[in-house]
Structures are given as structure tokens and as C-alpha cells.
Amino acid sequence: MAKKKSGGWLESIKTIVYAGLIAIGIRTIAFEPFNIPSGSMIPTLLVGDYLFVSKFSYGYSRHSLPFSPNIFSGRIFGRLPDRGDVAVFKLPRDNSTDYIKRIIGLPGDRIQVRGGVLHLNGQAVRREFLGNYTVEGDGPRMVVREYREILPPQPGVEPHAHMILEMSDDQPYDNTPEFVVPPGHVFAMGDNRDNSLDSRAQNAVGFVPLENLVGRAEFIFFSVDGSARWWEVWGWPTAIRWTRIFTAVR
């Protein structure tokens, strides 16, 4: 009986180890969950969104692995993002903090913001005013302006349209010098343009090395507005944003 009991414990430990290895494998190779803690990507992503990021979209770097072990450099099976992709990356200044922003510039692109209008390679990027937008769940409630921004097409890629927010066109990052994206890097910006610390802040974020890309945001699998604490079970049904569940990130 003692041997049988010992064997049962051993099988249980093996099962736990195998399950852990499978989970790490899926997280490393296929998909990793992330949550949105701030409003820099409103209206595309809201505080309380939980999403899956595809790890295979841009190939694999050391940041694809848990804790980013420094065992190799560069990317394996790497490819450039498309302009307009929403991507998770490691903050260049510490290589550990996860950021999520929209990829605006690719290597060699010239990026500048003038009067709130994005300019790409010397040309103003078209934006269309949609109306007022009320920002909630990220500090004080405020009403800002919402635009549809249409990035110019790349070879073989359709023009990318997404929504952005602007408090006004004279905020600190609404007028910038021209940035030239160096080789092996991308330029990332938040959709909540006046409430985003991104590549426009060269001393804080700056250009993002391709090696720092973790993956592309694919779809939201859960979303909660924060109106109910985890133990307030009775408030869960109204706190969950049901319409956002299983929606694609664009």
C-alpha cells in the first residue's frame, strides 16, 4: 500500500510539471495574456481589458521567454510589424516593463507631429473628426475629441484606419521635431494622444528595438469596468463589459 501511495504522489507531481511546461510552451510560442492598466490606448483599449498577444507574429526574441533571459540576441523568424499594429513591447530603458502602443513608424520612416496632426515621411496623415468622446475609468471624467486616423498604405497592405483621441492640438506632444526611425527600431504611439508616454518622449521611451517586441495584440477575451471589487460577486454581471469580449484589436 505504501508503494502505491508513493506512486500516486509521483504521478501527481509529474502531471503538475507537465502542465506547467505546456503552459510555458504556449505562452512562449503561441499566445500570452495581458491586461490594460492605463488609458494611453483609449478608445481602442480600455482600462480593465484583458487580451491575448500572439507571440509568433514578429518572430521570437529573448523577450518571448519568461523573465527575458539573456541567452541570445536578435529575433528568430523575425519580421517587421505593419504600420498600425497594436503591439506589446519591453520598455527600452529597462527591458522589463511591458508597454502596449500602436506601431506608427518603421525603420527609415520620418515621423513628426505638427499641430496635433501626425506627419509620416513629410506627408500629413489624414484624420476625420467623429465627434466628442467621454473618457471614463482613467482619472477624472473628461470630454475630448475623437478622430479616425488613416495611415498610408504599405506595399501589399491595405491602409490602416483607427480611432484616436485629442484633448486639443496644442498639448506638449502635439508639436515635435522630426524623428528618423533608425535601422532595427520602430516608432510607437498611444491612441490617446495627449495622455500617452510613447516614442515621442525620447528620454522616457524613444525608439523601440525590434528585439523588444513581445507580440501583436489580437483580441480581447475579458473586460471589466472596475465598478465591482473581486469579492463583490453580486456586482460582476454589470461590471463586465460583455460587448467587448472576443472582439478583435484593430
What distance in Å separates the CA atoms of residue 248 and residue 250, rounded to the nearest whole number?
A: 6
For residue 186, what are the CA distances in angstroms to 75, 127, 160, 197? 14, 22, 17, 15
User: Residue 101 catalytic?
Assistant: yes
**Cα–Cα distance measured from residue 193 to residue 6, given in angstroms and rounded to the nearest whole number:** 60
Q: Given 40, 196, 199, 223, which residue is catalytic?
A: 40
Distance CA 237, CA 196 (A): 31
Q: How far is CA 56 from CA 101, 107, 113, 155, 220, in A?
A: 18, 20, 32, 22, 18
Q: Which of 55, 90, 101, 223 is catalytic?
A: 101
Catalytically active residues are 40, 101
